[in-house]
Amino acid sequence: MKVEQIYTGCLAQGAYYIESNGEVAIIDPLREVQPYIKKANSDNAKIKYIFETHFHADFVSGHVTLAKETGAKIIYGPQANPSFDAYIAKDNELFTLGNVTIIALHTPGHTMESTTYLLKDEQGKDYAIFSGDTLFLGDVGRPDLAQKMGEITERDLAGFLYDSLREKIMPLADDVIVYPAHGAGSACGKNMMKETVDTLGNQKKMNYALRADMT
C-alpha cells in the first residue's frame, strides 16, 4: 500500500494518491489531472476510484476529466446530487482497492454531502482518514457556507458537524492518521496548523472542536 499527499501550497489544498496491488484511488484531485495519470502509469497501476469529500467552492476539481481519461468511477457521499455521472455512496459503504479497503463515513456539517473516507490496511486495521473539510489540523470546517439549503441554517450545520465529529471520527483509534483537504492559508478555517498531516490522537488533545467537555 502506498499513500501520497499531493499538496498545492498556493491553494493550501491536499489531494491524495492511494495505491494497492495495481489499483489506485485519487481523493479530491485538482483540475490538472496528468500528474495523477503519470504517477499511476509509473506504478503500473490503474486508477479505479476518484473520491470527492464534498463539492469544492475554492478550487476546480479534475474529477470529471480524470474519470473520462481513465474510466475511473467518481464517488460522492450521501445527499450529493451532481449534474454529471457519479456514484453516490451509502454511509459506511465499503470499496475494495487492491488489498485494502476504503469506507465512506458520511460526516455532514461543512456541507450536507461531506464525507470522510476511512482507509483500512491489508490486515483490516484502521490506518488513516481523509477528512476533507470536516476535520482540519487545529480546526474544523466552516458550517456557515450553506446556500440554497431551504430550511437548513448554519446553526443546523454546526449541529450536524458536532455529531459527525463525535459519532464518526472521535471513536477511531488515536494512531489513525488524519489527512485533511486543506492546511494553513485556506479560507475554509481560521486556526489551521502549518503541518499537513497528524495523528487523530494529537488532534483530540489540541483541537478545540474535539475537546471532551464540548457541548
3-state secondary structure of 161: helix
CA nearest to 113, candidates 155, 163, 56: 56
Per-residue confidence (pLDDT) for residue 184, from 0 to 100: 59
Q: Answer whether residue 187 is part of any domain.
A: yes
* Kind and range of the H or E run holding 48: strand 46-51
CA nearest to 177, candidates 120, 113, 133: 120
Q: Answer whether residue 10 is part of any domain.
A: yes
Per-residue confidence (pLDDT) for residue 149, from 0 to 100: 61
In this structure, what CATH number is given to the domain that contains residue 106?
A: 3.60.15.10
Q: Answer whether residue 7 is part of any domain.
A: yes
C-alpha to C-alpha distance for 75 and 98, rounded to whole angstroms = 17
Average pLDDT over all residues of the chain? 91
Q: Answer whether residue 97 is part of any domain.
A: yes
Q: Answer whether residue 31 is part of any domain.
A: yes
pTM assigned to the model: 0.93
Q: Which residue has the cell 495523528?
A: 199
Q: Answer whether residue 215 is part of any domain.
A: no
Distances, alpha carbon 199 to alpha carbons 13, 74, 172, 206, 207, in Å: 18, 27, 11, 11, 11
C-alpha cell belonging to residue 94: 465499503
**Which parts of the chain register pLDDT below 50?**
none
The number of folded domains in the chain is 1
Per-residue confidence (pLDDT) for residue 195, from 0 to 100: 86
Q: Which residue has the cell 457521499?
A: 77
Structural domain of 131:
2-210
Q: Answer whether residue 168 is part of any domain.
A: yes
Per-residue confidence (pLDDT) for residue 136, from 0 to 100: 94
pLDDT digits (tens, 9 = 90+) for 111-165: 999 999 999 999 999 999 999 999 999 999 988 876 556 688 889 999 999 999 9
Per-residue confidence (pLDDT) for residue 59, from 0 to 100: 63
Q: Answer whether residue 76 is part of any domain.
A: yes
